[in-house]
């Protein structure tokens, strides 16, 4: 407890038990899949296939060359049906390549597997880029970029904290694919030229900690670190601060760290070992309004409606369908959006309205804000259209983790109001 700072984080009930002990449910692609043309920074894609083309599982169908290169591969075999605009999990309608599934799942290797032990660092980075590995924590940032510029890295931090409620996809990946994950981690550590890889797991997940500790017992330079069961401990800055006891300005490498999600290591291992790019998603379908919450494994591009159906359907008529976790995921008003490469969850919650009252400036939002912002005051200055003040309050540094709105006892949409402030500032800059 600090005299001059609030907790800057908060424990949120995880509801992990809904799915953490269940076996993974394999969901096959339906008659059509819709592959999103999405990268974290751009939607400018060069589509390499044309309507009527036959593709296989693993055929490269598109590539983004806007600043950072990201290839996209087909997740099924079948015929290209064209390009369609569909609502994406990022809450924007985006181009999706539609592929009619022939059900054969014929495969081709877009690239050869690679032995990370014999490959050089540069070869590994080029391989990672070619495999289209993007961050599996949810943001989908191209992973190779972090390693390309890596210098003086002391620690590779593997985020297995999974701090969003309901989600157990990382957990279940570790439960089932720990060996592969360790291959991915060792390869990444080599790319980072880090002394040590630290796997951050929540303190409260004692069984998982034991399991991973046993698995890394004979590996030098890989260890497990128990982190507090708080939100958002999985945020890059929060983890770096916890592990390195240091802050940084722009990039974690300033503090001598690279942070990657444990599922990213798993995706990378799949590429290294099996020559498989990210063509499937392992994600948690959970929440209080889905009949059988479970982790599903499905080809990329399968619509949410099919996934929910595989989980027994909805339990009520009015739901909030959230692409990703309950804290940061966006609600989408239809279930046509599809399983994405970086998607780790679909959360389905029964709609409940919150009885909000006026803000009393209690300051709890300021206390929990992991960035140390003052959401209540940012919102006030946004209402007053006081841009100078919004800038002074560093509104743009908000990571939209949602904790301020979660904590707000007056049940106000604090996070959304801070977003409005950010929009105001962004508009003013234009």
Q: In degrees to the nearest 10, what's the CA dihedral of 138, 36, 264, 273? A: 170
Span of 18-26, 92-100, 102-110, 333-341 interacting with other proteins by CB under 8 A: 333-341
Q: How far is CA 74 from the centre of its chain?
A: 20
CA triple 372-376-381, angle to 5 deg: 110
Q: For residues 277 and 261, give the distance between their C-alpha atoms in angstroms, rounded to a whole number.
A: 16
Parallel, antiparallel or unpaired: strands 345-350 and 32-36: unpaired
Count residues near other proteins (CB under 8 A). Answer: 68
| Burial of 122 per CB tally in 10 Å (0-12, 13-18, 19+) | exposed
> What part of residues 32-51 is at the interface with other proteins (CB under 8 A)?
none
Please state the closest distance from residue 185 (CB atom) to other proteins, in A.
30
> What part of residues 142-171 is at the interface with other proteins (CB under 8 A)?
165
CA triple 136-138-140, angle to 5 deg: 65
Q: Does 374 bind other proteins (CB under 8 A)?
A: yes
Span of 23-31, 143-151, 211-219, 406-414 interacting with other proteins by CB under 8 A: 406-414
Please state the closest distance from residue 88 (CB atom) to other proteins, in A.
15
Q: Does 140 bind other proteins (CB under 8 A)?
A: no
Per CB under 8 A, the list member of 318, 427, 429, 430 interacting with other proteins is 318
Q: Does 366 bind other proteins (CB under 8 A)?
A: yes
- Tokens, residue 152: 């003086």
Please state the closest distance from residue 400 (CB atom) to other proteins, in A.
7
Per CB under 8 A, the list member of 99, 174, 349, 421 interacting with other proteins is 349
Q: Does 402 bind other proteins (CB under 8 A)?
A: yes
- What 248-255 contacts at long range (C-beta under 8 Å, 24+ apart), as own/partner pairs, is 251/149, 252/157, 253/146, 253/149, 253/150, 253/151, 253/152, 253/153
Binding mask 3-22 for other proteins (x = CB under 8 A): xxxx-x-x-x----------
Helix/strand/coil for 216: helix
- Of 69 and 391, the one with the shorter C-beta distance to other proteins is 391
Q: Does 395 bind other proteins (CB under 8 A)?
A: no
- Of 274 and 392, the one with the shorter C-beta distance to other proteins is 392
Burial 338-357 (b: 16+ CB within 10 A, else e): bbbbbbbbbbbbeeeeeeee
Span of 41-49, 124-132, 189-197, 402-410 interacting with other proteins by CB under 8 A: 402-410
Per CB under 8 A, the list member of 77, 101, 342, 415 interacting with other proteins is 415
- Of 65 and 385, the one with the shorter C-beta distance to other proteins is 385
User: Is 238:135 a contact under the CB 8 Å cutoff?
Assistant: no
Span of 33-41, 147-155, 260-268, 360-368 interacting with other proteins by CB under 8 A: 360-368
- Tokens, residue 417: 């109001």
Nearest to 182, CA basis, from 141, 213, 143: 213
Q: Does 332 bind other proteins (CB under 8 A)?
A: yes
Q: For residues 180 and 199, give the distance between their C-alpha atoms in angstroms, rounded to a whole number.
A: 14
Q: Does 217 bind other proteins (CB under 8 A)?
A: no
For residue 179, what are the CA distances in angstroms to 62, 193, 251?
31, 21, 29
Please state the closest distance from residue 179 (CB atom) to other proteins, in A.
34
Per CB under 8 A, the list member of 326, 338, 339, 382 interacting with other proteins is 326
Q: How far is CA 132 from the centre of its chain?
A: 15
Q: Does 427 bind other proteins (CB under 8 A)?
A: no
- Of 84 and 331, the one with the shorter C-beta distance to other proteins is 331
- Of 143 and 415, the one with the shorter C-beta distance to other proteins is 415
- Of 333 and 428, the one with the shorter C-beta distance to other proteins is 333
Per CB under 8 A, the list member of 354, 383, 423, 428 interacting with other proteins is 354
Identify whether 232 is preceded by a cis peptide bond (ω within 30 of 0).
Answer: yes
Q: Does 359 bind other proteins (CB under 8 A)?
A: yes
Backbone angles phi, psi at 347, to 5 degrees: -110, 130
Residues 6+ apart with CB under 8 A from 395: 373, 378, 381, 382, 418, 421, 422, 425
Q: Does 397 bind other proteins (CB under 8 A)?
A: yes
Q: In degrees to the nearest 10, what's the CA dihedral of 296, 301, 305, 309? A: -30
Q: Count how many residues are written for the chain.
A: 430
Q: Output DSSP code: residue 111.
A: S
Residues that bind other proteins (CB under 8 A): 2-6, 8, 10, 12, 165, 247, 314, 317-322, 326-335, 347, 349, 351, 354-355, 357-364, 366-367, 369, 371-374, 376-377, 389, 392-394, 397, 400, 402-403, 405-411, 413, 415-416, 419
């Amino acid at each position: 407890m600090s005299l001059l700072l609030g907790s800057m984080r908060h424990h949120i009930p995880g509801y992990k038990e809904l799915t953490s002990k269940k076996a993974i449910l394999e969901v096959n692609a339906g008659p059509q899949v819709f592959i999103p043309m999405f990268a974290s920074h751009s939607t400018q894609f060069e589509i390499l296939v044309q309507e009527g083309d036959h593709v296989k599982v693993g055929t490269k169908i598109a590539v983004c060359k806007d600043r950072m290169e990201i290839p996209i591969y087909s997740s099924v075999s079948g015929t290209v049906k064209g390009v369609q605009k569909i609502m994406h999990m990022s809450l924007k309608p985006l181009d999706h390549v539609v592929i009619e599934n022939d059900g054969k799942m014929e495969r081709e290797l877009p690239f050869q597997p690679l032995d990370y032990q014999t490959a050089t660092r540069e070869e590994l980075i080029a391989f990672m880029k070619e495999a289209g590995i993007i961050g599996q924590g949810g943001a989908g940032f191209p992973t190779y970029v972090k390693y390309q510029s890596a210098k003086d890295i002391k620690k590779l931090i593997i985020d297995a904290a999974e701090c969003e409620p309901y989600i157990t996809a990382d957990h279940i990946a570790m439960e089932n694919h720990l060996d592969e994950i360790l291959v991915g981690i060792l390869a990444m550590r080599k790319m980072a030229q880090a002394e040590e890889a630290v796997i951050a797991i929540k303190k409260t997940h004692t069984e998982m900690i034991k399991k991973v500790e046993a698995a890394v017992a004979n590996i030098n330079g890989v260890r497990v670190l128990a982190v507090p069961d708080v939100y958002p401990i999985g945020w890059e800055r929060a983890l770096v601060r916890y592990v390195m006891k240091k802050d940084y300005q722009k990039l974690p490498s300033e503090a001598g760290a690279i942070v990657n999600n444990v599922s990213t290591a798993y995706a990378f291992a799949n590429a290294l070992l099996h020559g498989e790019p990210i063509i499937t998603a392992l994600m948690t379908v959970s929440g209080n309004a889905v009949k059988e919450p479970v982790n599903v494994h499905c080809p990329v591009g399968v619509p949410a409606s099919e996934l929910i159906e595989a989980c027994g359907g909805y339990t009520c008529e009015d739901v909030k369908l959230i692409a990703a976790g309950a804290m940061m995921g966006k609600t989408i008003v239809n279930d046509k959006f599809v399983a994405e490469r970086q998607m780790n969850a679909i959360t389905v919650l029964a709609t409940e309205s919150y009885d909000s009252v006026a803000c009393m400036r209690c300051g709890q939002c300021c206390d929990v804000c992991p960035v140390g912002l003052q959401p209540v005051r940012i919102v006030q200055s946004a209402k007053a259209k006081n841009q100078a003040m919004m800038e002074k309050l560093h509104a743009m540094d908000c990571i939209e983790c949602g904790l301020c709105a979660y904590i707000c006892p007056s049940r106000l949409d604090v996070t959304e109001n801070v977003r409005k402030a950010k929009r105001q500032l962004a508009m003013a800059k234009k």
